């Protein structure tokens, strides 16, 4: 169990370093990783991301900042009343 915890901390630490090298916040990097891991054709919605986030407005602010720097583009979903990005 100790080895697993060590590997998780190492992975997170390396991800933080990669994020900072790309001028991203670690949370922004994690969001981009989550987006990349979505199954092909599955829409990324704000509602989906907010479910795993402690505070809903924090997720929206994070997505807004990624949109400003050009990493994501938000659009209104045709299938739902929510927004997708």
pLDDT score for 7: 96
Tens digits of residue pLDDT in 23-70: 999 988 888 888 888 888 888 887 776 666 666 667 788 889 999 999
Residue 21, C-beta contacts closer than 8 angstroms, at least 6 positions apart: none
* Residues in CB range of 71: below 8 A, 6 or more apart: 24, 28, 32
Candidate ranges 44-48, 70-74, 78-82; pick with highest mean pLDDT: 70-74
pLDDT at 79: 60
Domain over 2-84 is classified CATH 1.20.950: no
Q: Retrieve residue 18's tokens.
A: 């990669």
Task: Give domain limits for the chain.
Answer: 2-84
Q: Yes or no: say if 28 and 65 are a contact pair by the CB < 8 Å rule.
A: yes
Decide if 77 contacts 84 (C-beta within 8 A).
yes
* Pairing between β-strand 75-76 and β-strand 83-84 as defined by DSSP bridges: antiparallel
């Amino acid at each position: 169990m100790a080895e697993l915890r060590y590997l998780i901390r190492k992975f997170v630490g390396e991800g933080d370093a990669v994020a900072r090298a790309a001028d991203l916040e670690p949370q922004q990097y994690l969001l981009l990783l989550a987006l990349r891991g979505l199954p092909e054709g599955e829409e990324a919605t704000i509602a989906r991301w907010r479910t795993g986030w402690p505070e809903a407005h924090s997720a929206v602010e994070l997505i807004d900042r990624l949109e400003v720097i050009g990493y994501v583009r938000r659009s209104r979903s045709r299938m739902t009343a929510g927004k997708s990005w």
